[in-house]
């Protein structure tokens, strides 16, 4: 499985969000080559601003592993994490973060560039076009 | 009820966390003079780094109000919010944030100074000594 393969699973989650009328962001957590959590944005359904895809995926992955640290995990997410999610990724000590589309308006790289764990690595731009197109289509329909 | 009165309720939550072996941070959400949510840090019990007092309080308050925005609310928390929690407070559009102790190591004012809603007001130093002492005592016992 490549980064593109895992990002495609995150995109499937994002599409599920889209279908539910949620801002289409999806995430998966991978541990030793295995997907251990999948989630999509559910802020509308749960009336809860904290229910971003990454937050739900972190909680789910920690539940599965039985501990709160995700030191051997990679999180794939279709859109650059926001400040809140980057802070959570930092607390969870997620080793690697891979995202598709950049988010210059809300992304952590602008607003909290040191939020991830100091040893975390990042990769961006994986399936960027698909991730961006899904977001643009969502907001176009709501305009 | 004054800021000190509400902070004392947050301190009660922090003391409950202390008793449970959790880092002693407590929070309450006040809406129109009424306490609508109380929470304390539960990261150990839930094995979940996202279970900070503020996050749980935001989710609880939104549940009670039936909507995800807390635009008419004040959040009182015993310790300065971290990047994650400040991001969540920003998304929830919490109007006012009041905290006791500063957290120069993890506090949002150092790492994500623009995370709160642009119109949010903040007050710090309310019952600072009690809030700080509780944290120091917790870590002293664990050394």
Spatial separation of the C-alpha atoms in residues B92 and B27, rounded to whole Å? 15
Domain assignment present for residue A83? The answer is yes
Task: Please pick, among A54, A80, A128, A137, the residue that the annotation labels catalytic.
Answer: A54
Residues in chain A with CB shorter than 8 Å from the CB of B50 are 50, 55, 58-59, 88, 91
Closest Cα of chain B to A54: distance in Å? 11
**Residue B62 contacts residue B70 (beta carbons within 8 Å):** yes
pLDDT tens, residue by residue, B12-50: 999 999 999 999 999 999 999 999 999 999 999 999 999
Across the interface, of A43, A83, A114, the residue whose CB is closest to B87 is A83
Q: What is the pLDDT of residue B68?
A: 94
Binding residues of B for Zn(2+): 52, 82, 85
Domain assignment present for residue A14? The answer is yes
Domain assignment present for residue B143? The answer is no
Closest Cα of chain A to B88: distance in Å? 6
- Sorted by sequence, the CB contacts under 8 Å of residue B115 that are 6+ apart come out as A83, A84, A111, A112, B83, B86, B87, B89, B90, B108
What tokens were used for A60?
Answer: 């789910």
- Mean of pLDDT values over B106-121: 96
Domain count, chain B: 1
Residues in chain B with CB shorter than 8 Å from the CB of A111 are 112, 114-115
Distances (CA, A) of A133 to A70, A95, B121, B124: 30, 28, 36, 43
On whether A82 is known to bind a ligand per the annotation, the reply is yes
Q: What is the pLDDT of residue A143?
A: 82
Return the number of other C-beta atoms located less than 10 Å from residue A32's C-beta: 8
DSSP string, B42-54: -TTTTT-TT--HH
Q: What is the pLDDT of residue B44?
A: 96
Residue-range definition of the domain harbouring residue A64:
3-136
On whether A117 is known to bind a ligand per the annotation, the reply is no
Positive or negative CA dihedral for B29, B35, B41, B45?
negative
* A54 or A143, higher pLDDT: A54
- Mean of pLDDT values over A123-138: 98
| Residue A76 pLDDT grade (very low, low, confident, very high; cuts 50, 70, 90) | very high
Q: What is the mean pLDDT of chain A?
A: 97
- Which residue of chain B is at minimal alpha-carbon distance from A111? B112
Domain assignment present for residue A142? The answer is no
Q: What is the pLDDT of residue A69?
A: 97
Domain assignment present for residue A141? The answer is no
Residues in chain B with CB shorter than 8 Å from the CB of A47 are 62-63, 66-68
Domain assignment present for residue A62? The answer is yes
Residues in chain A with CB shorter than 8 Å from the CB of B82 are 87, 91
Task: Please indicate whether, in this complex, the C-beta atoms of A88 and B49 are within 8 angstroms of each other.
Answer: yes
- Mean of pLDDT values over A78-84: 98
Domain assignment present for residue B101? The answer is yes
Active site residue B54: yes
CATH of the domain at B38: 3.40.140.10
Predicted TM-score (pTM) above 0.90: yes
| Residue B143 pLDDT grade (very low, low, confident, very high; cuts 50, 70, 90) | confident
Helix (H/G/I), strand (E/B), else coil: A32: coil
pLDDT tens, residue by residue, A19-53: 999 999 999 999 999 999 999 999 999 999 999 99
**Hey, which residues does A82 pair with through a beta bridge?**
A107
């Amino acid at each position: 499985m490549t980064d593109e393969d895992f990002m495609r699973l995150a995109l499937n989650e994002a599409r599920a969000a889209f279908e539910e009328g949620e801002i289409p962001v999806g995430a998966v957590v991978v541990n030793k080559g295995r997907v251990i959590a999948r989630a999509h944005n559910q802020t509308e359904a749960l009336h809860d601003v904290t229910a971003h895809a990454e937050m739900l995926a972190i909680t789910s992955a920690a539940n599965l592993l039985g501990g709160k640290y995700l030191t051997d995990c990679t999180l794939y997410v279709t859109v650059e994490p926001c400040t809140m999610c980057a802070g959570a990724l930092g607390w969870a000590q997620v080793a690697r973060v891979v995202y598709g589309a950049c988010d210059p308006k809300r992304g952590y790289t602008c607003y909290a560039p040191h939020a991830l764990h100091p040893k975390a690595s990042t990769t961006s731009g994986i399936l960027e076009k698909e991730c961006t197109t899904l977001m643009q289509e969502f907001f176009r329909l709501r305009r």
